[in-house]
Amino acid sequence: MKRTFLKAIVASIALASLGLAHAQDIKERTLKLSLNGPEGHPAVAGMKKFAELVAAKSGDKIKVKLFLGGALGSDQAVTSSVQGGTIEMAVMNSGILASLSKDLAVFDFPFLFANEKESDAVCDGPVGQKLHKELESKGVVGLAYWELGYRQITTSKRAVNKVEDIDGLKLRVIPNPINIDWVKALGGNPTPMPFPEVYGALETKAIDGQENPISVIASNKFWEVQKFVALTNHQYNPQSVIFSKKVWDSMSPAEKKIIQDSAVEATKVQRDASRAAQAANLELLRKNGMTVTELPPAEVAKLREKMKPVIAKYSSSVSETTLRDVQTALAEARK
């Protein structure tokens, strides 16, 4: 009884803060928020905070229901459903959305960012906002960038201590062209595959390995089907928090503000949780029997060199304006 009473008071205060006219513009609704990852995925902290903020800001009128582990389909299927308005929201790698707006492929460029300061500057600044804006003509509204982190390579066959160790390995990659080409450039055999299928393919040895941030490797218990992890830091993955434009256009300005503000506020919580978990997740991998290797500087330099032709190839598919804007933002962040 007390809890219900307190909840009602909080709801009343939240609505009062919006002003009576705006409060009347907030409808009772439930939003579906999809993620192709399990409970321990780094985006989940952001999703939970987002749901909490939306409920508080809307006086509990707008509820957010979380769907994890690819429950609503692959990233490609969910993107299509977001465009159609049957799924309101999703969180996914920004590079996947290059199928809708080619300039977002810039986020898949190997070794684009050296650290989180640089990635935050690009994603949160004018460049990131412009790239999300380009999605609107395709039926998608970009609200914020969360993060998956830096990607590493895991294998079951052998440890990767030098670039040549990747030669011949059958590695799962995110299904887009640049990821296929960088694995080929290293002598590997790229295998595009939706994420929900990866564990099973590793278990049956249909593939030798995969590449993902440490948080994803840990949350999916890949130690059960992989023996080695190499800290290559070859890509940084921002994750786009996206909303159906079809649904967005039906919402009032007050509702849109609640959703947008909550997504941005949840960004700090999500990134902080993701970065804080890195050391603990590495220890968890070791504790569960994985051998962790770190490439020497000379091998990292070799890795970068082999990926240069891939970057050159895909630079032509991204607009000159976007490339220039990214380089300008990076130069500013490096001062």
Bridge-based pairing of strands 170-173 and 228-231 is unpaired
Q: What is the pLDDT of residues 247-294, one digit of tens each?
A: 999 999 999 999 999 999 999 999 999 998 888 999 999 999 999 999
Domain count, the chain: 1
- Per-residue pLDDT at 17 exceeds 80: no
Is residue 29 helix, strand or coil? strand
pLDDT at 310: 94
Whole-number Å distance between alpha carbons of 216 and 214: 5
pLDDT at 20: 43
The mean pLDDT of 29-37, rounded to a whole number, is: 95
- Per-residue pLDDT at 13 exceeds 80: no
Burial code (b: 16+ CB inside 10 Å, e: under 16) for 95-108 equals bbbbebbebbbbbb
Q: What is the pTM of this model?
A: 0.83
Q: What is the pLDDT of residues 63-91, one digit of tens each?
A: 999 999 999 999 999 999 999 999 999 99
Is residue 185 helix, strand or coil? helix
Residue 239 belongs to domain spanning: 2-18+27-333
- Per-residue pLDDT at 42 exceeds 90: no
For residue 205, the number of C-alpha atoms closer than 13 Å in the C-beta half-sphere is 3
Q: 88 near 243, Cβ under 8 Å?
A: yes
Q: What is the pLDDT of residues 133-172, one digit of tens each?
A: 999 999 999 999 999 999 999 999 999 999 999 999 999 9
The mean pLDDT of 123-130, rounded to a whole number, is: 97
Q: Please report, as a single letter, which amino acid is at residue 195.
A: F
Q: What is the pLDDT of residues 200-238, one digit of tens each?
A: 999 999 999 999 999 899 989 999 999 999 999 999 999
Percent of the chain with pLDDT over 90: 82
The domain that contains 269 carries what CATH number? Answer: 3.40.190.170
Region of poorest pLDDT, from 60-64, 186-190, 304-308? 304-308
